[in-house]
């Protein structure tokens, strides 16, 4: 008989120790968007709730710049330095390189001294996917501290004259530090996907063959908005209930509901299905931020904390959904922001 492998460390509770975001400087109004698409401020606001979004600048606001900026602020809010991080996980679909992964460069810039680093691609669900992985890593004792970042430059991947997508998306980044905790600060993850509807949000054409096409049309995001709307409005209420059930929390006991900021109307439908009492604050960051895909959940949390809609330590239900079609979420205790 060979030598034995040492058993796992006892499981630990985990929590969100700090939150930081990067919102690009440049505000882009519906009026500016409508200079390139056949639409109107009135149509965009009534169909989506969006008044404005932010687009990143070419210098100083790359995907990496924004991820590092949000990560630094999350570390500051958590009161730890980068060298304590054992893992950096970046959720993104818009980092312009497939190799090497963005997380390795972020981990280096934050002075982790060689933390494990991986990117997660799960569309708009990416942040909650990454948070589930990070929480389980810390819970199992694989690492003590992990940084989770959601970051996107959607302005790079939406065709400026495509009126089915251009007005919806925006740019930005949000990050949280996950670490061990006396009490449960991050509930169990509920997640999944429906690849049979993968075409509903897709990239077209692929990166390998586009150069061979006669028109060399570069890849853009294509979205069947109505199909995504129906799926989200019918299915995501059920998923929110599963998230609360798995955490053993009554929906009425929540302080905040933080659904993905894809469309204010989708979130209104979900809130009605859940019959949430008015004591539960509902995130509405989409109005000023648009849909920032994997960055949307941490940006929406930051707005709620900054404006006092919820306090650090309050119970929040996170629910992210999008391309895949995939979804993920968990109940959390809301983290502190940097002072």
What residues numbered 171-190 form the site for ligand UT7, per CB under 6 A? none
Residue 101 C-alpha from the chain's centroid: 18
Which span sits near ligand UT7 by CB under 6 A: 39-47, 112-120, 128-136, 186-194? 39-47
Distance CA 290, CA 313 (A): 26
Cα–Cα distance for residue pair 320/262, rounded to 1 Å: 9
Are 178 and 14 a contacting pair, CB within 8 Å?
Answer: yes
Is 17 a binding residue for ligand UT7 by CB under 6 A? The answer is no
| Binding-site member from 29, 81, 213, 226 for ligand UT7 (CB under 6 A) | 226
What does the DSSP 8-state code read for residue 66? H
Q: Is 47 in the site for ligand UT7 (CB under 6 A)?
A: yes
Alpha-carbon distances, residue 274 vs 124, 242, 244 (angstroms): 21, 11, 11
Q: Does residue 291 belong to the site contacting ligand UT7 (CB under 6 A)?
A: yes
Q: How far is the CB of 130 from ligand UT7 (least distance, A)?
A: 16
| Cβ-defined contacts of 38-41 (< 8 Å, 24+) | 38/163, 39/163, 39/167
Contact between 124 and ligand UT7 by CB under 6 A: the answer reads: yes
Query: Which residues are catalytic, by number?
Result: 124, 260, 291
Which of these segments, 22-30, 61-69, 146-154, 228-236, binds ligand UT7 (CB under 6 A)? Answer: 228-236
Q: Which of 150, 142, 170 is nearest to 8 (CA)?
A: 142
Show contacts with ligand UT7 in window 77-116 (CB under 6 A).
none
Tell me how far, at minimum, the Cβ of 124 lies from ligand UT7, in Å. 4
Omega cis (within 30) before 205: yes
* Residues in contact with ligand UT7 by the rule CB under 6 A: 37, 39, 43, 47-48, 124, 163-164, 167-168, 201, 225-226, 228-229, 232, 262-263, 266, 291, 293, 322
């Amino acid at each position: 008989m060979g030598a034995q492998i040492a058993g796992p460390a006892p499981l630990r509770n985990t929590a969100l120790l700090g939150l930081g975001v990067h919102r690009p400087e440049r505000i882009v109004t519906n009026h500016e968007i409508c200079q390139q698409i056949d639409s109107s401020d009135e149509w965009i606001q009534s169909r989506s709730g969006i008044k404005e979004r932010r687009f990143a600048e070419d210098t100083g606001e790359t995907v990496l710049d924004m991820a590092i900026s949000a990560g630094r602020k999350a570390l500051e809010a958590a009161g730890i330095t980068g060298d304590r991080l054992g893992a950096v996980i970046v959720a993104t679909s818009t980092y312009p390189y497939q190799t090497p992964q963005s997380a390795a460069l972020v981990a280096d810039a934050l002075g982790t001294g060689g933390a494990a680093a991986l990117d997660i691609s799960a569309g708009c669900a990416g942040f909650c996917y990454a948070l589930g992985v990070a929480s389980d890593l810390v819970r199992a004792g694989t690492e003590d501290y992990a940084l989770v970042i959601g970051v996107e430059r959607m302005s790079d991947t939406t065709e400026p004259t495509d009126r089915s997508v251009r007005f919806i998306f925006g740019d930005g980044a949000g990050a949280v530090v996950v670490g061990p905790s006396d009490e449960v600060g991050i509930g169990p993850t509920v997640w999944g996907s429906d690849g049979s509807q993968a075409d509903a949000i897709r990239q077209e054409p692929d990166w390998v063959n586009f150069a061979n096409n006669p028109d060399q049309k570069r890849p853009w995001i294509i979205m069947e908005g109505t199909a995504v709307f129906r799926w989200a409005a019918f299915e995501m209420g059920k998923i929110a209930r599963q998230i609360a059930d798995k955490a053993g929390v009554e929906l009425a006991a929540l302080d905040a509901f933080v659904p993905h900021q894809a469309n204010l109307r989708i979130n209104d439908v979900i809130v009605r299905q859940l019959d949430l009492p008015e004591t539960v604050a509902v995130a509405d960051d989409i109005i000023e931020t648009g849909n920032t895909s994997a960055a949307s959940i941490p940006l929406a949390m930051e707005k709620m904390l900054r404006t006092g809609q919820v306090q650090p330590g309050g119970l929040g239900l996170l629910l992210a959904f999008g391309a895949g079609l995939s979804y993920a979420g968990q109940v959390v205790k809301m983290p502190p922001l940097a002072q």
